[in-house]
Amino acid sequence: MATLDPPGARFRYEPRSHDAPSGRVAYFDEGEGEALVFVHGLVGSFTHFQYILPALAGRYRLIGVDMPGCGESGHADAHQTIDTYASAVLSLLDARGVRRATLIGHSAGGLVVSRVAELSRDRVARLVMMNPAGLRGYVRPLRVAARVVLQPPVVAVLLGVFVERILDHVFCARNDYTRHFAAEQTGRYPKHKLLYGMGRVFHDIVPDLMRPGVLDARHALEMPVLVIWGDTDRLVPLKKVKAAVGRLPRAELQVIHACGHMPMIEAPEETLRLLGDFLGASA
């Protein structure tokens, strides 16, 4: 397997721009072969997959997309939902001439790719979800409360004040990858305009994340599905994750021990091994 980029290495791929119906999206598209499409989590970016991409280069066509309002895509004027995010992915695939691909989503991106599969299952060869949202639901009063409370200015203040504490909950391991990621993120947050934009994304998307969207889409998930889960993730108890994945038609669950919510950053070697085994076995 290829050597991983060291923490802090420059991201290898230059972003391009595509105008999707729901807003501008930044993306990269490199290489030839079977397409692997990467979708980040809430207020993330395609750079979150940086450490697993080099080992896949040369064998696959690698495509990453920043959802409207996130990463290099910049400010999003329109209200966003998981559906608008899914439509942005499909719009990009159409624009790039990708008829069929393996979709790889992290956290909220896992919910997005499951929705893409539900909307257009013939386009999806395989599905990989890393610590995905959408494996459990919350009662409607909590969803309504989240929309009311998580107003952009409120979220901006919370992110600015509690970013280090939030990152402490995201990761389990303390290694060079997680330390660099945490330092990079905390360096971004004092920018008020950036924080407010992230607050808007939280306000728009969080209510969708409180629905069991992956389970709701299970009738369409007939392709091979891999769920990778860091066992110290606080999003959903592991017992409930196992029960939820068991309800998907062709899914397998692979657990990374002593790993939190972002396995592709916290444990890139193990994430790559699991991903490589799945891509080879389901080819």
Domain boundaries, the chain: 16-139+211-281
Dist. CA 77–CA 224, nearest whole Å: 36
Stated as kind and residue range, the H or E segment containing 216 is helix 213-216
Q: Give the model's pLDDT for residue 153.
A: 75
Residues ≥6 apart with Cβ < 8 Å to 257:
231
| Paired residues of 254 in beta bridges | 228
Q: What is the DSSP letter of 57?
A: B
∠ CA 184-189-194, nearest 5°, is 115
Mean pLDDT of 83-106: 98
Judged by average pLDDT, the poorest of 53-57, 89-93, 161-165 is 161-165
104 confidence band (pLDDT: 50, 70, 90): very high
146 confidence band (pLDDT: 50, 70, 90): confident
Average pLDDT, the chain: 90
Mean pLDDT of 83-111: 97
Domain 16-139+211-281 has CATH 3.40.50.1820: yes
pLDDT at 33 over 80: yes
Mean pLDDT of 89-116: 98
Residue appearing with tokens 């990374």: 256
What whole-number percentage of the chain has pLDDT above 90?
A: 65
Q: What's the burial of 38, exposed, middle or buried (CB within 10 Å: 0-12/13-18/19+)? A: buried
Residue appearing with tokens 């992915």: 89
